[in-house]
Amino acid sequence: MAFLIPPRTAQHSLDAVVIGRAGMDLYPDPHGTKTADADRFTSDLGGSAGNIAVAMARHGLDVGLAAPVSDDPVGQFVRNKLRHYGVEHLTPSPVQGGERTSLALAESRASDCEVVIYRNQAADFALSPQTFDITDVDRAPTLVATGTALALDPSRTTTLDALARSGCGMLDLDYRPYSWESDEQAREVYFEAIEACDVIIGNDDEFGLLAGSVDGGKALAETLAQQRDGRLVIYKMGAQGSVTFDGTGSFSTPIFPVDMLKPFGAGDAFMGGVLAALASGQRVPDAIAFGSAAAAMVVATRGCASAMPTTAEVQAFIAARRPKAGG
């Protein structure tokens, strides 16, 4: 199974541009504490797009993130954290008005884990020609869009325009029902975005949404791969691993078993790891395994953005789990 993302050339100053949500995450401290019982919280960068951008940066890629933030201390926190992680903020001017940067309270628990996200008048939905110079898409061979960026205008239209402009569009379905008017609206918009995408990644529930039933999601993933030459569709199934389709065949990739500390962050680490591995020239099966390893490492570590591993750390993790010769 062969797939090549466009190479970075002299005209590119970035390896990838990411569009979507970046916000502040708050974690009850110490680990295992319920939010309702917490006296202390630790903070970090959050949001699916923010985490994906950090994941790629940790693998040595030059990454730009288009995620508007509010004109307040929370927005400044996000800008500071992006700078800390080495991600270029492509929408640096704060949004003026009532919009607010999203805030998430996430419990670090393997079970009975609650994540509460505040998205009222979310600043990232203000992505528009006024806040984002769409020619920045031309600075990278690859564009990664997260599904949350498609939920509302003007972010929706701007993201669709960016995908159409990109040389290689990648879509993380990242479906959050509370951001959409209805499942029907989400389905229509997702299919419009998919038309411009070379890589589509989602879980069984998200593909089930597109198919109209969970039972039809896997077949739809295969069909989407067959509709466009060279397209990759990655169908994630949680503990059952993933299936990758490319229109000519498919293969399965198991997860790496770990002692899970919390259930979130895996998808962002997976997306960032897969893209970084493909950008380095790895074969598709190896890139998917690399992303799976990164995902396992993140759910076994406290935090989310701060838990994203480096390439060397992922390689060591995989090497330690290979069968020994003669074993």
Sole residue written with tokens 């992303």: 291
For the beta carbon of residue 195, count every other beta carbon within 10 angstroms: 12
Peptide bond into 154 cis (omega under 30): yes
Kindly report the CATH number assigned to the domain that includes residue 307.
Answer: 3.40.1190.20
Q: What is the pTM of this model?
A: 0.96
Residue 16 phi/psi, 5-degree rounding, is: -160, 150
- Give the structural domain span for 266: 16-22+50-69+127-197+255-319
10-residue mean pLDDT series, the chain (327 residues): 79 97 96 95 97 98 98 97 98 93 94 92 96 97 97 98 96 94 96 97 97 95 94 95 94 95 94 95 95 97 94 97 60
Task: Tell me whether residue 220 is in a domain.
Answer: no
Q: What is the pLDDT of residues 226-235, one digit of tens each?
A: 999 889 999 9
Instruction: Look at residue 153 in the predicted model and tell me its pLDDT.
Output: 97
Does the CA dihedral 168-188-181-262 come out positive or negative?
negative
Task: Tell me whether residue 221 is in a domain.
Answer: no
Closest to 141 measured CA to CA, from 314, 18, 17? 17
Task: Tell me whether residue 192 is in a domain.
Answer: yes
Give how many domains the chain has, as a whole number.
Answer: 1
Contacts of 267 (CB under 8 A, 6+ apart): 48, 172, 174, 201, 203, 236, 295
Task: Tell me whether residue 8 is in a domain.
Answer: no
